[in-house]
Amino acid sequence: MGSKSGEGYSPRTEERQPETAPFPPPRGAIYRARLRKGAASATPRYGLVGAWGLLIIIFSILAPSTFPTALNFETMFSTGSVLLILCLGILPSLTAGEIDLSFAGIFGLAAIIVAYTNVNLHIPIVVCLVIGVTAGGLVGVVNAVLTVWVGIPSLIITLGMGSLLSGLALGVTSLPIAGVSNALVAAASTRFLGFELVFFYAVAATGVLWYVYRFTPLGRNLFFVGAGREVARLSGLPVRPLAGGTLIFGGLVAGLAGALLVGTQGSADPTAGPTYLLPAFAGAFLGSTAITPGRFNPLGAFVAVFFLQTGTQGLELLGLSGWVDQAFYGASLIAAVVVARLGRRP
């Protein structure tokens, strides 16, 4: 079987190999190359963190009596936590190359379901939670089946689904439902070290997702499913279960986030859901420019969400209200995507 090994390299048809550095290169050379690469890439990787710090400084100067206070920061971190959890819920689907626009609708409807079943139907709060989260999961399953198995692009399916669910929420009630069980409120908004519990849940969720992304084969596989679906398929990865699974995950998390929102407010507002759509996407995309630029990642999302929260809260303290939020989220989203594209090799 080795008969051809000699004849394989006929010199007449082969050009000389270009001279390169000795192989393997000495350990020092590799280390120095890494260091150089590390220094060059620190700026884009942690730029967002720097921008966040800058924002805090600017607002502290502009509103010295209201911004740099403990109360303000506590509010900021608590309000941003539900958004962060929502954002983390759509991160896997974005990584896998799907776009889930229905999460805001699931979120809003789940909040209404939890509140309605608890307040109007007098069902124990724990059961209501289960119902809410399960409902979210079921919607996720429908999304998954229609997208991954039937083959309709996720963008279209989830757009319709989101609208459908938001409408349903309004159909259940047009006015906020108040008077939710104190147990839920306590579970979400009891203060610990000054922060509401929901903040710690968000931190934990970030940590779990970071672990999965960084240290598990699942995280690696999800990235490949999104970055090169055909490559993933030809490498034997279970593409459909993975992609579909991320949509189901998104539904479950959106349901959970809805329940947590009810806990932080003590009530459920049927119009609240859709207002979280853009901020969550803004957070995910802005986050993809940080820590691991070019890839959706949980730590980046964490920084991004609180960066955005700082921005909107600061602007409100300066007296600009309402419209400024949307403008700020929109501008951040555009800036994030443009920076990410320009940052990629030309």
Partner 1 sequence: MKTVVGLLAVMANALLLEGLSKAFGGNRVLRAVDLRVKGGEIHALVGENGSGKSTLVKVLSGYHAPDRLACAQVNGVDVRLPLPAGAAARAGLAFVHQDLALIESASVLENLFLGSLETKLGWRVPWRHEVLRANNVLARFGLGSVDPLQVMERLDGAERAMVAVARAVTALDRAERPGSGQASRGVLVVDEVTAYLPEDAVRRVLGTFRSTADLGFGVLFVTHRLEEVFSTADSVTVLRDGAVVHSSSVKAVTRQELVSLMVGRDLDEEAEVGAREVGAVGGEQAALVIENLEAGAVTDVSIRVLPGEVVGLTGLVGSGFESIPYALFGAAPANGRIRIGRQRASLRGWTPRRAMRAGLALVPAGRLTRGAVGTATVGENMLLLSARRLWRHGFISPAAERAAAESLMRQFDIRPPLSDIELGRLSGGNQQKAILAKWLTSGASAFLIHEPTQGVDVGAKGQILGTIRGLGNAGKALLVASADQVDLARVCDRVVVFREGRIHSELSGSGITEARISAAAHGIDAIKVKA
Q: Is 16 a residue that touches partner 1 (CB under 8 A)?
A: yes
Give the residue with the Cβ less far from partner 1, 25 or 167: 25
Minimum CB distance to partner 1, residue 218 (Å): 9
Which residue in 31, 33, 121, 186 binds partner 1 (CB under 8 A)? 33
Minimum CB distance to partner 1, residue 214 (Å): 8
Which amino acid type is present at position 273? G
Minimum CB distance to partner 1, residue 24 (Å): 6
What's the rounded Cα separation, in Å, for the pair 245 and 133?
A: 15
Minimum CB distance to partner 1, residue 172 (Å): 42
Which residue in 10, 43, 65, 174 binds partner 1 (CB under 8 A)? 10
Q: Is 28 a residue that touches partner 1 (CB under 8 A)?
A: no
Give the residue with the Cβ less far from partner 1, 167 or 211: 211
Which amino acid type is present at position 32? R
Give the residue with the Cβ less far from partner 1, 166 or 289: 289
Minimum CB distance to partner 1, residue 225 (Å): 10
Q: Is 174 a residue that touches partner 1 (CB under 8 A)?
A: no
Which residue in 18, 151, 322, 346 binds partner 1 (CB under 8 A)? 18
Q: Is 19 a residue that touches partner 1 (CB under 8 A)?
A: no
Give the residue with the Cβ less far from partner 1, 12 or 122: 12
Q: Is 65 a residue that touches partner 1 (CB under 8 A)?
A: no
Minimum CB distance to partner 1, residue 321 (Å): 41
Give the residue with the Cβ less far from partner 1, 1 or 175: 1
User: Among residue numbers 275 through 304, which ones bind partner 1 (CB under 8 A)?
Assistant: 294
Give the residue with the Cβ less far from partner 1, 222 or 304: 222
Q: Is 39 a residue that touches partner 1 (CB under 8 A)?
A: no
What's the rounded Cα separation, in Å, for the pair 131 and 113?
A: 8
Minimum CB distance to partner 1, residue 280 (Å): 24
Q: Three-class SS string for the chain?
A: CHHHCCHHHCHHHCCCCCCCCCCCCCHHHHHHHHHHHHHHHHHHHHHHHHHHHHHHHHHHHHCCCCCCCHHHHHHHHHHHHHHHHHHHHHHHHHHCCCCCCCHHHHHHHHHHHHHHHHHCCCCCHHHHHHHHHHHHHHHHHHHHHHHHHCCCCHHHHHHHHHHHHHHHHHHHCCCCEECCCHHHHHHHHCEECCEEHHHHHHHHHHHHHHHHHHHCHHHHHHHHHHHCHHHHHHCCCCHHHHHHHHHHHHHHHHHHHHHHHHHHHCEECCCCHHHHHHHHHHHHHHHCCCCCCCCCCHHHHHHHHHHHHHHHHHHHHCCCCCHHHHHHHHHHHHHHHHHHHHHCCC
Minimum CB distance to partner 1, residue 291 (Å): 14
What's the rounded Cα separation, in Å, for the pair 120 and 154?
A: 35
Number of residues that bind partner 1 (CB under 8 A): 42
Are the beta carbons of 69 and 187 closer than 8 angstroms?
A: no
Burial of 279 (0-12, 13-18, 19+ CB in 10 A): buried
Q: Is 190 a residue that touches partner 1 (CB under 8 A)?
A: no
User: Among residue numbers 193 through 252, which ones bind partner 1 (CB under 8 A)?
Assistant: 215-217, 220-221, 223-224, 227-228, 230-231, 233-236, 238
Binding site for partner 1 (CB under 8 A): 1-5, 7-10, 12-18, 20, 23-25, 30, 33-34, 37, 215-217, 220-221, 223-224, 227-228, 230-231, 233-236, 238, 294, 345
